[in-house]
Amino acid sequence: MAQVLEFKLPDLGEGLTEAEIVRWLVEVGDVVAVDQPVVEVETAKAMVEVPCPYGGVVTARFGAEGTELPVGAPLLTVAVGETADARPSGDAGGADTARTGGAGDGASGQEPAAEGSGNVLVGYGTSQAPARRRRVRSAAPAVNGRPRTPEPVRETARPADGPVPVISPLVRRLARQNGLDLRELTGSGPDGLILRADVEHALALRSTTDRDSADTATGPTAQVTAAPAVSPGRAASVTRVPLKGIRGAVADKLSRSRTEIPDATCWVDADATELMRTRAAMNAAGGPKISVLALLARICTAALARFPELNASVDTAAREIVRYADVHLGFAAQTERGLVVPVVRDAHTRDAESLTAEFARLTEAARAGTLTPAELTGGTFTLNNYGVFGVDGSTPIINHPEAAMLGVGRIVPKPWVHEGELAVRQVVQLSLTFDHRVCDGGTAGGFLRYVADCVEQPAVLLRTL
């Protein structure tokens, strides 16, 4: 006999408390498999496909597209049991194994199915259907779906077609995107639970780079203007845009930046003619084309090595400046959802070709809406190429909690005194907005002057290569 189980909006991590339904991926009456994505939601940080931890028939959906739901609110219900004959054979085998005790300690694993997976994405799993499936439980109370204290791993015999002890769809997605078979891993969590750290360790052994999440997010610079006060007779001509999702997060983040950070801006014009000639020569030599943004990023990382004070943040609670040895470089990418800032990890270790490839990959993911929260967080410095919008200069708001942002305007032909004579040269305006708490004007000016020198004479970079 089938039992109807309720699946709630899970905790999507990163401190998020709500999400907006963008698109339903299943209809009422559809048969779904375990961990099949059922809905696409938008949080303040990314678009996320939410997988369902149950296999069965969808009996109800809660919320229309565009509805904003808090974490823990019902998403849908699934009829699980003998009537769900369309369930994949691998899942059925896992259920039989669970019933015979193959998934864990049979004496302690039996408990009635109640709410099912619980309401946390970073810690929900497939729980027991009536007399068919065992629940993976942690022995200690959990916070946000993660155990308070680690437990020794208990080795269990895992059937080839049975359920894998992974309760985080984000972990499953990380493994799937990197072609990693979770059945080959032994989890370090309670009862052999496979954690993200286990997947990252396995990927590291395969010499595949994984990205760690950080504690801040960044989003587009939303063009939302508060509606002015109007008379009742003109109210019909006013449009109010709710500050929610990404726009709400941006509003909060920029307001916090302006409130906390005493920023200052300095700028300089530079002759970029030699930089453009250098790029043309590099591209003429064959191989992947090098982008201007990649060259600017390479210059930026070299400047940060000389002026590490700007690769930092301020811990206001501890009243300390935190300086970072690694450069995780954020850059602006225009998308249909707005302007987002993906992060290139370990930019200081990359050459121009690697930077070009990573910029292209992240830009494509941004426009497709597939950037993960990890790819939108953790930056230590931002490169803002607003010249693509056809403007010369800007005084941007610093991406909190970073300490500085380099802005690059358009590169255009202008009159310029070159070698004592007036000539038409390719000129660009560079600006640096910085947190005055981490350094004084001399440091900021020195950084910007070094960047300008490298733009005017790219050979300067040879001293640090």
91 vs 141: CA distance, rounded Å: 28
Q: What is the dihedral of CA 292, 293, 296, 298, to 10 degrees?
A: -110
What residues contact 324, with CB distance under 8 A and at least 6 apart?
311, 312, 313, 380
277 vs 448: CA distance, rounded Å: 21
What residues contact 141, with CB distance under 8 A and at least 6 apart?
147, 148
Q: Answer yes or no: 201 catalytic.
A: no
Q: Which residue among the candidates 201, 348, 400, 436 is catalytic per the annotation?
A: 436
38 vs 52: CA distance, rounded Å: 6
Strands 343-344 and 381-384: unpaired
Beta carbons of 433 and 286 less than 8 angstroms apart:
no
Q: What is the dihedral of CA 444, 450, 452, 453, to 10 degrees?
A: 160
Active site residues: 436
